[in-house]
A and B are shown apart, each in its own frame.
Chain A
Amino acid sequence: MLVLKELTVLNGVSGNEEAVRDYIKEKISPYVDDIKVDPIGNLIAYKKGKSQDSVVMLAAHMDEVGFIVTGYNDMGMLKFESIGGVDDRILPGKPVTIGDKKIPGVIGAKAIHLQERDEIGNVWKIKNMYIDIGASSKEEAEKLAPLGEYISFYGEFEEYGSNCIKAKALDDRVGCAVLMEVLKGSYEFDLYACFTVQEEIGLRGAEVAANRVKPDIAIVIEGTTCSDVPETEKHQYSTKLGKGPAITLMDRGTYPDRKLVNYIYDLARKNDIEVQFKQTATGGNDSAKIQRSGKGVKVAVISIPCRYIHSPASIMNKNDFENCKKLLSCILNDLSNNPENLNKILKGDEVNV
């Protein structure tokens, strides 16, 4: 849990993932045979297989949604745009940090008692909001927060009750943490763990990482929507907190390989690991680019349910996280010890676990 805490506290908005990359690189170095940073910033860790030729790729993205400084107003406040999908409605009144020095700021807009009647019931768009860092002039603001500086949500890592964690950037530091854990194992096949960049702005890193790695099979670990909350119809829950890591059947970007998906589900059941299926087909992730890279890759996606995803206060269940790590280890060990299973998946045959 410490690794996850340290990861979520780091700022790594799409295009500015250095801090996260440096942290992960340092932590995984003792366990891997080679580490590369590619031309657009992906961190690609390689573990040579003991005996097999097959290539397995794991992917989790290092970037989080955030903002960027686009201008200033005369009072020295920052104009900004979002990077990645951010719901404008959650922004007013949130604290943020700017740049590597983590200069604190607050997202402001007109206060309630000064609003016109027709403004009160409506939401603010980003263009009506600004970030106040307390600068007294445009020049001071420019020095502290130059154009193009990246801005992150501010959110502390906290334990909620006995089972839950609240933090920012669980999407997808949970994936990074899971990958870092399984890199400690050893496997018969060549394993590439790709910590990708710029997923939130269009799955950019995954596309080039997959072109370089050319995997046979890829598994993506994500943080995904969890809407098992009031005012939501049961059939729109997507995933449920505490019911285990969620396996994707289909999302807007990918129709994962069904034989691989069935194999993962059966393996989970056989090993008493609680799992669920993601029950909505929304969203997309790195698997979309990986699946269609080169001559094609068999892919699957396993996600940890996170309520209030893409906000500074996301909530996840610790058991889901632990079970995800267990499940991925289980899959890698099974493929390693039973190469005929891996071959069956590559051939498109059913696997009996």
Chain B
Amino acid sequence: MAGGGDRTRRDRFDGQFPAVLDGVRVGEPWAFDRVFRTLAPMVAGYLRAQGAAEPDDLTSEVFLGVLRNAGRFEGDEAAFRSWVFTIAHRRLTDERRRRGRHPALEPLAHAAEAAAPDDVEAAVGEALGTDRVRALCAQLSPDQRDVVLMRLVGRLTVDEVATALGRTPGAVKALQRRAFRALDRALEREGVRP
């Protein structure tokens, strides 16, 4: 079963996705806003955990592309999420290519700047958590990292990840299995493992 345990979270639009998509197709601002508020946190978190240099700007680029082209999209909510993350992943790849570098860990202080300033304590805690996730994921292969972060941060099922990355579900399962085993060993080396 691919992600069957979190099926209750699959509906991010509270059953209103068809109406939202119809609104997006005709350029309704409320529909655009709904799509952005629903999916942007996950996209931004994915890009941040992937080590994007400017995750917020990149998120805006992603949704500009999504909203400008959503009129031609046909499919259900799951397919829409896969499509959004496909665009996000491509934008990330483009950014890495532009900068000519691979994702690298950034200093903790710099990571904290990306958090929302309203609740400093929560923001710092989130930054710490994100930094920790990023540090651990940096020990994975790029393919494993893509799969794990799309599954955990993007809340995508195995099938959705497979669609977003252009792989088979079997390949995604194999990658996530290896990724969690690698994380297990990395945490063991840190002495975190029970």
**Do these two chains interact?**
no
